[in-house]
Amino acid sequence: MKLIRPFFFALLFSIGANAPLLADELEKADSAVANLLFEYDGSEEYTTYKANEDGSVDLIFAVNTPDNLYEEILTKLQNHPNINSVLASKGGPACKAF
């Protein structure tokens, strides 16, 4: 039991010490996606996203999003320095804009 306590507290400290770093990764990724999508007028109608603590992003496009638009946005997100990875799909509800 004596060995478990120091290990447990070291683990908690390690997690607590990394919490600001994780929050920073989330904030950077969220800001990057929001700013990039802002460049595409009406993107709020055909995309939804969630930034994660590790700086990754989950993105869902409308099912009828044109392939060239999907690929353009996806490429920009994948190459953004504040986004660690992107998981994207075209599985959202159809958008009237297309």
pLDDT in tens, 3-42: 455 544 454 455 554 555 556 899 999 999 999 999 998 8
In a domain, 20, yes or no: yes
| % of the chain beyond a pLDDT of 70 | 77
In a domain, 38, yes or no: yes
In a domain, 41, yes or no: yes
In a domain, 97, yes or no: no
Alpha carbon 9 to chain centroid distance? 31
Number of structural domains (the chain) is 1
Per-position DSSP letters for 30-47, written without gaps between them? HHHHHHHHHTSTTHHHHE
Q: CA 34, 77, 60, 51 torsion: positive or negative?
A: negative
Confidence of residue 56 (pLDDT cuts 50, 70, 90): very high
Residue 23's identity, in one-letter code, is: A
Query: If you average pLDDT over residues 77-84, what whole number do you get?
Result: 96
Residue 1, classified by CB atoms within 10 Å of its CB into exposed (0-12), middle (13-18) or buried (19+), is: exposed
Structure pTM? 0.73
Q: Please give the residue range of the domain that contains residue 76.
A: 4-92
